[in-house]
Structure 1
């Protein structure tokens, strides 16, 4: 049994310790945002966050996650109240088929949580492991820039509120 927190909820997972996180998320927890793409960690469709790092859930075994916090695209917001990253992807119409988009959002979220002032070159380099075959790369970068702006604004508002 492995204990982990997924999208803020604690779970006790009874599965083989070699089971990839992707299967636990989809089959045990019913979270279908992370997609099975290649199963080899080469496409990024399965990207989630463990702590503040983007990880490929199809090649990350359950044993490596004991006690860790996992965030999936479902943990960023809801249909009724999308988070900044989700809202930015919607506003920029960054999805074509949508298969790669959850992984793209999660990789971008990990980047912006560390540095919302990141350059376009850094965005492109960071997003390189995630593949999109529908040609929405420019819209994806625009969405990430938009989300970065929103995250900076929210951070500044939170700091102002704390300062009184």
Structure 2
């Protein structure tokens, strides 16, 4: 799908100007004046600002903790984010003690299938025997860029010093 946004007010660090924005396959491909491009959808943004979407790098969607679960899941939380102008988020995928870290990632990826916005995941590691280290390497190759280990919340999220060192 392609979108042409006409007459958008664009503000950058150096300029404040009006132009058209052509979006193809969810990426901006052209910015220019009076673009003559056929698009599936045309939006007149006359006298309106066009700004990039926000990124929320700390969310808790459908997160179990302390016998409760966070109030938003990927359906309601990401819909609310989109209405507020947030177009990307990074949620926490939590490994339960005694399970493989890979299982946690797969569980959160399944939960996130209904996301309205783009997402990525931080991995919370609660149990990391030597045999699971290769899972972490594989996750990095798949795009997981951060792993969080807690020194708080004993018997729930906390890991020992040896695990952190490893």
Superposition TM-score tier, normalisation by shorter sequence: under 0.3
Structure 1 or 2, whichever has the larger Rg, is 2
**What TM-score do you get using the length of structure 2 for normalisation?**
0.22
Q: Which has more strand, going by share of residues?
A: 2
More helix by share: 1
TM-score normalised over the length of structure 1: 0.22
